[in-house]
Amino acid sequence: MSKITDMVTELAQPVVEEEGCSLWDVEYVREAGTWYLRVFIDKDGGVGIDDCERISRRLDPILDEADPIPDSYVFEVGSAGAERELRRPRDFEQFMGEEVELRTYQSVGGSKCFVGTLAGYDDGAVSLQLGGKTTRFEKGQVALVRLHISL
Give a yes or no: residue 73 inside a domain: yes
Radius of gyration of the chain (CA): 17
Residues 7 and 75 in one domain: yes
Domain count, the chain: 2
Q: What is the pLDDT of residue 151?
A: 77
Residues 75 and 95 in one domain: no
Residues 72 and 93 in one domain: no
Indicate whether 142 pLDDT > 70.
yes
Q: What is the pLDDT of residue 7?
A: 95
Taking residues 101-125, what's their average pLDDT? 96
| Alpha carbons 99 and 129: distance in angstroms, whole number | 9
Residues 28 and 61 in one domain: yes
pLDDT tens-digit readout, 90-99:
999 999 999 9
**Domain of 59, in residue numbers:** 3-79
> 3-state class of 57 per DSSP?
helix
Q: What is the pLDDT of residue 79?
A: 95
Taking residues 126-134, what's their average pLDDT? 95
CB 121 within 8 A of CB 93: yes
Taking residues 8-31, what's their average pLDDT? 96
**Domain C-terminal end among 25, 50, 79:** 79
Indicate whether 1 pLDDT > 90.
no
pLDDT tens-digit readout, 46-87:
999 999 999 999 999 999 999 989 889 999 999 999 999 999
User: What CATH code is carried by the domain that includes residue 122?
Assistant: 2.30.30.100
| Alpha carbons 83 and 149: distance in angstroms, whole number | 7
Give just the sign of the alpha carbon dihedral 121, 125, 126, 127: negative
Taking residues 114-125, what's their average pLDDT? 96
Please state the length of the chain. 151
Question: Model-level pTM?
Answer: 0.81
User: What CATH code is carried by the domain that includes residue 51?
Assistant: 3.30.300.70
Taking residues 103-114, what's their average pLDDT? 96
Q: What is the pLDDT of residue 52?
A: 97
Give a yes or no: residue 84 inside a domain: no
